[in-house]
Structure 1
Amino acid sequence: MTVRIGVEEEFHLVQMETGLLAARADAVLDGLPEQTFTTELQQAAVETNSAVHTSLDDLYDDLTGARRTLDTAASAHGLAVVAAGTAPLGFPGDTPPTPGVRYRRMTDEYRRVADEQLICGAHVHVDVPDRDTAVRIMCEVSPWLPVLLALSASSPFWAGADTGYASWRTMLWQRWPTAGPIGCFADAAAYDTAVRSLVGSGVISDPGMIYYDIRPSDHHRTLELRICDSCPRAETVVLVAGLFRALVTEARQRLESPAAPRCRGRHEWLRAATWRAARSGLEGNLVDPETGREAPAAHVVHGLLRRVRPVLTANGDWQTVRSLAERALADGSAARRVRRLAEREVLLACTDLLITETRGAGRLSRRPARRLAGRV
């Protein structure tokens, strides 16, 4: 049976005329259903929550529908919505945090790290049978997560300047004490003990501040992917969701076999591979999880496709995911698209491009990749 998936997307709110961040989340969200649309730490960001789906087509329709609804609400206030790791013209200090005891405590404790939390991510939830399975799967799929980050990379600019990175959001995000690659745990009890220890240390205030690249949900029987930038094109989110579901399913199958793999750890390797993906996106080398050595991004992405093809085929996802992956490699990352535009235009034009891609158009297609021009 095909495993269910759901997605949380974070969006920047920007002024249409200037491209600057706009701290208007409360106004934009007024009247929208709380179960689908909600606030974030900074008032210049909002989050959408999809329903759960088995079909990638249904997930795509859900994501694009939520984007249209949010864009309409923002437009009524002279604002636009940007799905990207960072907004090209987002400047720290220009937006206040969202009111509330928890957010106020975070801004008081973490100071500039919280003040500069002007970043947005795309999170994917995949159903798992129980927390023990979720924790064991984390270790198995973690080496492939930097590849998903490279596919999503959309944040080359920070405070109006080119950082040289494809995902500067990743570098900002990893400043939090419980962000980045996660260690390996024997079972849910060991993981929960580690979380309680972190809360008890006073470094974080609650389990919700576990921000690692992957984590078991506290409220649902899901495993959550957290490494990715928000993606201007909804098709990229669908690609990442399809690949992550396949990785989780493939890992679960291996763990259920008589010769279940033993965790190899490699936390230092994971952090290095994540940095490489954040630096390069799809435009340079990545660290190949199968060899531990650098290789062109296309080679590593194709290796991932080969690994999960049986699961994708069983799910009915192979044609869609293969086509989207090939188009992603042909077009390059969102970071590359906006950076190339910045070579001949001002950064406001980059913001306009991100707004246009976030709005999107059309339906997901399973046609061959050569006919999916401009879709990923």
Structure 2
Amino acid sequence: MTGSLLLKGFEIELFTGNPSGENVGIAAEAARALEGFVTEPDNRNLEYITAPEYNYAPLSEALLAPRRQLRAWLEARALTLLPGSTLSLGDPNRFERSNPGNAYHSLIEATYGTRVVTASIHINLGIDDTSALFTALRLIRCEAALLLALSASSPFLGGAVTGVHSQRWLQFPLTPSSVPLFQDHGHYIRWVDEQLQAGTMHNVRHLWTSVRPNGPSRPLDLNRLELRICDLITDSGLLLAVTTLLELRVLMVIESPERFDPFRASQLSPEQLQSLSDANDAAAARASLDAPLHHWRDGRSLLCRDWIAELCETVSPLAEELGLIQQLEPIHRVLQDGNQAMRWLAAVNSGATLPEVLQAGIRTMADEERGEAEQTGVLG
């Protein structure tokens, strides 16, 4: 089975704060003290990266072990890890620089302010063949909204209910503002060069979109697909389920591009596919599973949760063949019980306060790291 699967790696951004749920910045100190952690521009969150793996078996521990290490270090300072992808109880108007001397961070703060102060999961899949990579990128760009909907976990900002399920995705500055579905590697190289010359990208990393090509020397040397749209998923079982669904779709489009590459299997033009995908992403950020979306094949309208269920059915034969069918089970639970944002909002509507919701989420995160997590109740 290893030979059939792709390399998988994760970039995990986390917020730190008080056990009561308020954000507290300590990332610069943590990154100096702990190997494997790096800072983000704001001091209230930091990141770690997992080593690439083909098989799924080692990935849960790879995701949780750094959290245990960081949590122990934080607990010695009466701090903890926070769930959610926005400054739920923090000050959303004040930037807390992790490295005041970093010129690129200065540019980010001056250009975007605290819109970039979010936490998320980036999922990387290794694809060395650039033709296959850009084929996969087109399909995942058109289905990224579904993965955002499964992960949505940011319905709060600054101590208030925002009215949306992924405040993170709606506030984060997509850059450049218009990104095409790339025809091939050459198209991508030319487009990046044009953006750098125009100043809409400040460097080759400054492409902030739902999914992008990545590699050791962009834009020329590429070796992976990076999904960037997902909110923070603290439940490692759900994260691996989302990764499984993503990988199965990538394997399917590489094997049968005539059936799954939107440039070959859609009735819509490339420009229409770009507009449809961006609109779907925004709709999923607002209402996640209950969002009305439009399918990339023909533009027909359907509910997000129905499209996800349809997708799970489509990937099931390949999942069975690869021994991955059980790994998709957490997705079915989300379709039944709601994602984290929906469960949190249900708790608030039932009378819970935002601090109570976040404190329950903190306990759930800690329980999972101890191997005790059970998704019970609406607060988890």
Code of the aligned partner of 2:85 = G
- Residue aligning to 1:167: 166
Residue equivalent to 2:345: 339
2:48 is aligned to: 48
Alignment of 1:1-376 (within 5 A): 1-17=4-20, 19-34=21-36, 37-99=37-99, 100-108=102-110, 110=111, 113-173=112-172, 175-178=173-176, 182-219=179-216, 221-255=223-257, 261=264, 264-265=269-270, 266-289=273-296, 292-321=299-328, 323-343=329-349, 344-361=351-368, 374=376
Q: Secondary structure at the match of 1:9?
A: strand
Deviation of 1:202 after TM superposition, in Å, equals 1.5
Counterpart CA distance in 2 for 1:151 and 1:217 is 23
Cα distance in 2 for partners of 1:291, 1:303 equals 15
Task: Assess if the C-alpha contact under 8 Å between 2:87 and 2:156 holds in 1.
Answer: yes
Pair 268,284 (structure 1): closer, same or farther in 2 beyond 3 Å = closer
SS at structure 2 position matched to 1:282: helix
For residues 288 and 357 of structure 1, what CA distance do their matches in structure 2 show?
Answer: 35
Q: Deviations 1:95-134 (Å, cap 9, x if unpaired)?
A: 41221122112223x0xx2333221111100111223321
Code of the residue aligned with 1:236 in structure 2: it is L
CA contact (8 A) 2:258 2:265 kept: no
Q: Is the 8 A contact 1:131 1:216 kept in 2?
A: no
CA distance in 2, matches of 1:15, 1:231: 20
Amino acid at match of 1:184: L
Task: Tell whether the 8 Å contact from 1:338 to 1:353 is kept in structure 2 after alignment.
Answer: no
**Residues 158-216 of structure 1: CA distance to partner in whole angstroms, max 9, x if unpaired?**
1111111111111111x34326x842222112101111211111222101111111111
Show CA shifts across 1:268-307 (max 9, x none): 1111111111111124544444553333333211111122
Q: Specify the SS of the correspondent of 2:284.
A: helix
**1:140 & 1:233 partners in 2: Cα distance?**
26
Name the SS of the counterpart of 1:123 in structure 2: strand
Q: Distance in 2 between matches of 1:79 and 1:92?
A: 20
Sort the Cα spacing of 1:294 and 1:63 in 2 relative to 1 into closer, same or farther, 3 A. Answer: same
Q: What is the aligned-residue RMSD (CA, Å)?
A: 2.5
SS in 1 for 2:12: strand
8 Å contact kept, 1:342–1:349: no
Residues 104 and 373 (structure 1 numbering): CA distance in 2 closer, same or farther, change over 3 Å? closer
CA distance in 2, matches of 1:319, 1:47: 29
Structure-2 change in CA distance of 1:200 and 1:56 (3 Å): same
1:56-85 Cα deviation digits (max 9, x unpaired): 232112112222222222222221112422
8 A Cα contact 1:23 1:95, kept in partner: no
Corresponding residue number in structure 2 for 1:368? none
- Give the 3 Å change call, closer, same or farther, for CA 262–295 of structure 1 in structure 2: closer
The 8 Å contact of residues 151 and 328 in structure 1, kept in 2 or not, is answered as: yes
Check conservation: 2:170, 2:285, Cα contact below 8 A: yes
Deviation track 1:206-246 (CA, whole Å, cap 9, x = no partner) reads 01111111111132611000111011322221111111111
Structure 1 residues 318 and 358: CA distance shift in structure 2, 3 A: same
Tell which deviates more after alignment, 346-355 or 278-287. Answer: 278-287
Amino acid at match of 2:193: R
TM-score, normalization by structure 2: 0.87
- For structure 1, the residue ranges without an aligned partner over 5 or more in a row are 365-371
Given that 2:23 and 2:89 are in contact with CA atoms closer than 8 Å, whether structure 1 keeps it comes out as yes
8 Å contact from structure 2 (residues 175, 209) kept in 1? no
The letter for the 2-side match of 1:292 is G
- Is the 8 Å Cα contact of residues 182 and 214 (structure 1) preserved in structure 2? no
Percent sequence identity over matched residues? 22
Mapped to 2, the partners of 1:328 and 1:308 lie a distance apart of: 17
Shift in alpha-carbon separation, 1:23–1:214, aligned structure 2, 3 A: same
Matched residue pairs, number?
A: 359
